[in-house]
Amino acid sequence: MTVRTRFAPSPTGYLHVGGARTALFSWLYARKHGGKFVLRIEDTDLERSTVESVNAILEGMTWLGLEYDEGPFYQTKRFDRYDEVIQGLLDKGLAYRCNCSHERLDKLREEAMKRKRKPRYDGHCRHRGVSPDEPHVIRFRNPETGVVAVDDLIRGRVIFNNEELDDLIIRRTDGSPTYNLTVVVDDLDMAITHVIRGDDHLNNTPRQINILRALDANPPQYGHVPMILGDDGARLSKRHGAVSVMQYREAGFLPEALLNYLVRLGWSHGDQEIFSVDEMIELFDIDAVNKAASSFNTDKLLWLNQHYIKQDDPKRIAHLLSPQMGNLGIDPAQGPDLVAVVEAHQERARSLVEMAEMSAFCYQDFETFDEKAAKKHLRAAAREPLERMREALAGLDEWTQERLHDLVEQVSASLELKMGKVAQPLRVAVVGRAASPGIDVTLYLVGKQACLRRIDKALAYIRQREANAG
């Protein structure tokens, strides 16, 4: 039997990290077993489903590289099929029409709560033979006794008592089918062998198994993955910052970093932290998924992102960095080769946004000196070194990293100063702050004209300061 898994989001928002991880686990399981991964859009809630959401979900999956083998299938296009199944259930007496009013249902619920009992439908219409001509819903006739055992791939065996369950609505008054029916029919029709989904569905599973049994079908295997919480342990939501997968792209994360982070959230393979997609496929094991919910930790994601930025081909990083530079109003074509800029910053940035910010100086003059850096390095003592450097740089005909390196060393030596006494003021003069790549690369990337211009500005700053002091 070939493994077939699926991801079945309802298009009522973007693809969030919890959904992405569920999709990832499902996808990995299919890939690992040489199976198929199906995408199904659960859009039976006509009120809340939107095409924008569908597109956002598709976009997120594409970015992460979670390609599906079949679909997307839309439930709204399968209403005839659901009707057919519902009619079959009705014919066999496994479902019935119900015209209980909302008022009656509300009252029932209220009373059950008052009696400290679980609210459940009392089966009022079970044998009333409600006419098909009047408005009605259709309920599934759930077994009244016995138990349903769910042998969950992650949770182990979970037992539910049928007495706890009630006759759920499978078709609304307007004729549309509901979730618990459509999911069962679809998983059956799409021959899904392993249902890997969020654990908010664990409670639905016994109902779905009962419907499956009514349909004379064998239930698939289930695996309920725990949810993801925010840094503070509360359910992940907008107030935790980025929850949408696409927000992570905007924030300068690499898809492989997010994937690596997500796969390690709730799953592990010994002490290994870094997983390529191929390794994930090879090593992933649904049994090893944790039962407990886990908290999202952006610091660790950042660490992984830095790891992948360091490791990646500078050309690819440059390609991804370009739009981030654009967001800063910089056209990378107007200045040094972006690939060289990337190579200079690859070990320093945790995200592409950071990289864009820290390398902006290569393309544009800064407005003001960093206050602390200027105070410390742009003082009287730096005046001579800067003047000497300016002179040397102005006379340099071959603007290469090697020559620049030699030059800084020569000037330091001739002034009998440590290299830092020259490099630091120079760095602040040229980038506006105290941190940048090696001084030679920094000068090289900034370019001759900008270097001279900015050194002049720094010298003016020092003179101004001396004037104020004196």
Partner RNA sequence: GCUCCCUUCGUCUAGUGGUUAGGACGCUGGCCUCUCACGCCGGUAACAGGGGUUCGAGUCCCCUAGGGAGUACCA
- Among 264, 388, 390, 454, which residue sits at the site for RNA (rule: CB under 7 A)? 264
Q: How far apart are CA 191 and CA 187, in angstroms?
A: 6
Does 419 interact with RNA (rule: CB under 7 A)? yes
118 assigned to active site? no
Q: Taking a C-beta distance cutoff of 8 angstroms, is the pair 269, 317 a contact?
A: no
Helix 448-469 vs helix 419-431: angle between axes, to the nearest 10 degrees? Answer: 100
List binders of RNA among 3-32 (CB under 7 A).
10
Does 438 interact with RNA (rule: CB under 7 A)? yes
- Among 92, 420, 453, 463, which residue sits at the site for RNA (rule: CB under 7 A)? 420
Does 440 interact with RNA (rule: CB under 7 A)? yes
Does 310 interact with RNA (rule: CB under 7 A)? yes
Give the residue among 25, 10, 8, 7 at the shortest CA–CA distance from 262.
Answer: 25
- Among 107, 172, 238, 319, which residue sits at the site for RNA (rule: CB under 7 A)? 172
110 vs 466, beta carbon nearer RNA: 110
Does 147 interact with RNA (rule: CB under 7 A)? no
List the alpha helices (DSSP H) in 269-415.
Answer: 277-283, 298-311, 314-327, 338-345, 352-359, 371-377, 380-394, 401-414
Tokens 């016995």 — which residue? 146
Give the residue among 63, 70, 74, 72 at the shortest CA–CA distance from 36.
Answer: 70
Catalytic: which of 238, 291, 315, 372? 238
x-or-dash string of contact with RNA, 354-393, rule CB under 7 A = ----------------------------------------
Does 127 interact with RNA (rule: CB under 7 A)? no
State the nearest-atom distance from the C-beta of 234 to RNA, in Å. Answer: 6
Q: How far is CA 136 from CA 46, 102, 323, 464, in A?
A: 19, 11, 55, 85
- Among 119, 143, 336, 447, which residue sits at the site for RNA (rule: CB under 7 A)? 119
List binders of RNA among 328-357 (CB under 7 A).
347-348
| Bridge partner residues of 36 (DSSP) | 4
Tokens 């610091």 — which residue? 299
List binders of RNA among 284-303 (CB under 7 A).
288, 290-295, 297, 299-300, 302-303
State the nearest-atom distance from the C-beta of 311 to RNA, in Å. Answer: 10
Beta 137-140 vs 95-98: how paired, if at all?
antiparallel
Point out the residues that are catalytic: 238
